[in-house]
Structure 1
Amino acid sequence: MEQTAKQLEFERLKERVAQLESELQSHPGPWAPTGEYPAYEALSGFVLGIAGAIVALLLNVIGAPADSKDPLQLIRVYLTFPLGEKALTLGTREVAGSSIGSSLGSPLGDWMILAFGCCLYLGTGMLLGAIFQPVFRRYADRSFLKRLVLGVALGVLVWVVNFYGILSWLQPLTCGGRWITDNSVLPWWVAAVTHVVFGLTMAILYPLGRFRAPAAGVEQA
């Protein structure tokens, strides 16, 4: 009799366990990505893009004097779209006789515009980084050498498309000049190397932003 009661209780417990398992399966836990995660890649690309832009800008700041150029010449050229030719003289005027409280058109105002130009340059790096990161994951996720080659190719592609596919006609149309693609203002090889350095930096830093799906069975916080 006692054995039968225990057997019945055991069967009821088995049914209860099965019921609980069914309820748990019908109410899955918090969502967790298991494969591709575009939002994560875009965000990590934003961050790494800033780093890539900083490296490229520092290279120009350090290397510009070797070509008898001002360290911030790249930013001045960058600002010719949309400021026009006057952007090339930003920060070159004498401070003597100027009022510290004056705004645009003064040396202080010029440096504020140049600082803003640097921010825009970094912002452009962010946008490009959000594009480079998914491309690296798709075509060169585990190969460092392939990423380097792809980084160079992407950098050159962005340079050619932006400079000669878009700005070569858009800047004259909107600003009345072609300073960005003028070799006397910005040598073509400087622009090309800048983009290549950005691509290489993104390729090197890519693993820092690679998405790693959580292991199966690991409890999510």
Structure 2
Amino acid sequence: MDDHEKQAELQKLKERVERLESEIEQPHATAPWQPTGYYTAYYATSGFMLGIFGAATSLLVNVISAPLVGKSPLELICVYLTFPLGEKALLLADQTQKVYTVSNGLILTIGCCLYLATGMLLGVPFYLALTRLTQNASTLMRYGVAAALSIVVWLINFYAILSWLQPALFGGNWIVELIPPWVAAVTHLVFGLTIAVLYPLGQFVPYQRPTEKS
């Protein structure tokens, strides 16, 4: 290959490099990725995360309102601890008081963590149902559906599951018997309505490059 042919080949390579650089610099015209159909995995994850906020809010409301009716702020946790501990959870209560209040800080901490973890697990089916039923609904309608779902979750948890599961595992039905129905219902309502308020935070929004936003 003589010098003339080398120069011609080099010129072709330069032109090819310039063409490739031009193609790279051009903004991509491809549309952002969109899920096909209902994005179940994403909304399940969102429900898992939002569930902890719902549980924390319901626990906080219970802690604040319990003394107003002469109860211990964390009596709810004490009673819920009967599921993993059985009747031992009630024996840990302070016997000098007429209300259930566990004096062991570590056990109370574990109980609160279990309560929050339960809220995270319940948040998954709750948020999936809420997004399915109220995807294009108004905010007021979403709150109404969330309230109805909360009552359904309470009835299923207490009377379709715990009413037979706790006696079968631990020999007593303390959660259903010791927690007044209205307290359980309000606790679940606060949980569900909190998730409904935070509903927009769990929605899927495709990422857009800065060049696509303009």
TM norm structure 1:
0.72
Shift of 1:45: 1.2
The aligned counterpart of 2:33 is 32
Matched, 1:196 2:197: no
Any conservation in 1 of the 2:150–2:192 contact (CA below 8 Å)?
Answer: yes
Matched, 1:84 2:79: no
Any conservation in 1 of the 2:54–2:191 contact (CA below 8 Å)?
Answer: yes
Shift of 1:187: 0.9
Distance 1:89 1:31, change over 3 A: farther
Please give the alpha-carbon distance, in whole angstroms, between the structure 2 residues aligned to 1:81 and 1:34.
Answer: 40
AA aligned to 1:131 is P
Please give the alpha-carbon distance, in whole angstroms, between the structure 1 residues aligned to 2:157 and 2:83.
Answer: 12
Shift of 1:37: 2.2
AA aligned to 1:176 is G
Shift of 1:120: 0.9
Aligned pairs (5 A) from 1:1-221: 32-35=33-36, 36-90=38-92, 92=94, 107=103, 110-142=104-136, 143-182=138-177, 185-214=178-207
Shift of 1:51: 0.5
Distance 1:89 1:73, change over 3 A: farther
AA aligned to 1:209 is G
What are structure 2's unaligned runs of at least 5 residues? 1-15, 24-29, 97-101
Any conservation in 1 of the 2:32–2:207 contact (CA below 8 Å)?
Answer: no
Any conservation in 2 of the 1:50–1:125 contact (CA below 8 Å)?
Answer: yes
Shift of 1:89: 4.2
Number of residue pairs the alignment of both structures matches: 185
Please give the alpha-carbon distance, in whole angstroms, between the structure 2 residues aligned to 1:134 and 1:176.
Answer: 34
Q: Secondary structure at the match of 1:70?
A: coil
Any conservation in 2 of the 1:34–1:213 contact (CA below 8 Å)?
Answer: no
Shift of 1:170: 1.5
Shift of 1:166: 1.1
The aligned counterpart of 1:9 is none
AA aligned to 2:190 is V
What are structure 1's unaligned runs of at least 5 residues? 1-12, 21-28, 95-105
Please give the alpha-carbon distance, in whole angstroms, between the structure 2 residues aligned to 1:46 and 1:213.
Answer: 20
Please give the alpha-carbon distance, in whole angstroms, between the structure 1 residues aligned to 2:130 and 2:203.
Answer: 9
Shift of 1:43: 1.7
Please give the alpha-carbon distance, in whole angstroms, between the structure 1 residues aligned to 2:64 and 2:91.
Answer: 20
AA aligned to 1:92 is D
Shift of 1:134: 2.0
Shift of 1:52: 0.5
The aligned counterpart of 1:99 is none
The answer to which of 205-214 and 69-78 deviates more is 205-214
Any conservation in 2 of the 1:91–1:111 contact (CA below 8 Å)?
Answer: no
